[in-house]
Amino acid sequence: MPFTIAIDGPAASGKGTIAKALSRRFGFHHLDTGLLYRAVGAKGGDPLETARSLTARDLQRPDLRSNEAGQAASRVAIIPEVRLALVEFQRRFAIQEPGAVLDGRDIGTVICPNADLKLYVIASDEVRARRRASEIGADPAETLAALQERDARDQERETAPLRPADNAVILDTTEMSITEAVTDAVRLVIARRKGDGKLT
Ligand code: CDP
């Protein structure tokens, strides 16, 4: 049975960094599900048509990490039919051997409710804005406003709103370095795999 890790949380909380590190450490596949929504938002046109015909090339656009692409993503992410069009791809990705890590907003609640481990990664607004601004070379104050606007939209939407799954482990990375956050996450995976009888 493949081992599935679901990582959710607000914008720039450290989900992606932790997901990438876990996938490398355990040899698991990794999917940044935010890229799907960013690609749909950035491509324009009818969002549902775009979601249904998304290609690997669309996910490689160089402008997908920008604040603008993030805003466009959260606008198309409100549309239930767009979300539905992307469900099957994500669920198939999640059950690959030997395991998969998916990060996003609704992985533990909607996409993989039976994931072996669910993490909900948070950090203070200021820390998240500082991290994202330096990652993409944007103004910190503008980035803070963009993150807060997007979080509110993600939390308040009716379909698959951003919230921790009931059995998610909350990881607050405000005061943590990347190494500390990853070490904590690795420990949680090892403990859960031992519980499953798989020694890591
Ligand atoms: O990297 P960051 O946390 O800033 O954002 P992202 O994961 O790339 O997601 C961009 C936007 O896509 C989010 O603000 C959500 O509106 C949407 N999204 C979603 O609705 N569901 C997901 N599973 C992933 C992203």
User: Can you give the pLDDT at residue 98?
Assistant: 97
User: Can you give the pLDDT at residue 176?
Assistant: 95
Q: In whole angstroms, how far apart are CA 35 and each of 14, 31, 73?
A: 15, 9, 8
Domains of the chain by residue range: 3-193
Question: Token pair 């190494």 is at which residue?
Answer: 179
Task: Give the pair of three-digit tokens for residue 100.
Answer: 């998969």
User: Can you give the pLDDT at residue 200?
Assistant: 61
Distance CA 97, CA 100 (A): 7
Q: How far is the CA of 82 from the centre of ligand 1 (A)?
A: 13
Q: Supply the DSSP string of the chain, one letter for each residue.
A: --EEEEEE-STTSSHHHHHHHHHHHHT-EEEETHHHHHHHHHH-S-HHHHHHT--GGGGG-TTTTSHHHHHHHHHHTT-HHHHHHHHHHHHHHHT-SSEEEEEESSIIIII-TT-SEEEEEE--HHHHHHHHHHHHT--HHHHHHHHHHHHHHHHH-SSS-S---TTPEEEE-TT--HHHHHHHHHHHHHHHHHHTT---
Q: How far is the CA of 105 from the centre of ligand 1 (A)?
A: 6
Question: Token pair 């956050």 is at which residue?
Answer: 181
User: Can you give the pLDDT at residue 197?
Assistant: 67
User: Can you give the pLDDT at residue 195?
Assistant: 78
Q: Which of 56, 59, 9, 3 is nearest to 28 (CA)?
A: 3
Nearest-CA residue for ligand 1 atom 21 is 105
User: Can you give the pLDDT at residue 194?
Assistant: 86
Nearest-CA residue for ligand 1 atom 3 is 11
Q: Split the chain (200 residues) into runs of 10 and give each run's mean pLDDT.
A: 96 96 98 98 96 95 94 97 98 98 98 98 97 94 96 97 97 95 97 77
Distance CA 9, CA 89 (A): 21
Assess whether the previous peptide bond of 98 is cis (omega < 30° from 0).
yes
Q: How far is the CA of 79 from the centre of ligand 1 (A)?
A: 13
Query: Which numeric CATH code is attached to 3-193?
Result: 3.40.50.300
User: Can you give the pLDDT at residue 80?
Assistant: 98
Q: In whole angstroms, how far apart are CA 135 and each of 15, 83, 169?
A: 14, 27, 26
Nearest-CA residue for ligand 1 atom 16 is 74
- Return all residues near 177 (Cβ < 8 A) that are at least 6 apart: none
Q: How far is the CA of 23 from the centre of ligand 1 (A)?
A: 19
Distance CA 194, CA 200 (A): 7
The pick from 37, 101, 159 for probing ligand 1's pocket by mutation, whose C-beta has the most ligand atoms within 8 angstroms, reads: 37
Q: Residues enclosing ligand 1, CB less than 6 A? A: 11-12, 16, 33-34, 37-38, 70, 73-74, 77, 104-106, 150, 154
Q: How far is the CA of 87 from the centre of ligand 1 (A)?
A: 14
Q: How far is the CA of 73 from the centre of ligand 1 (A)?
A: 7
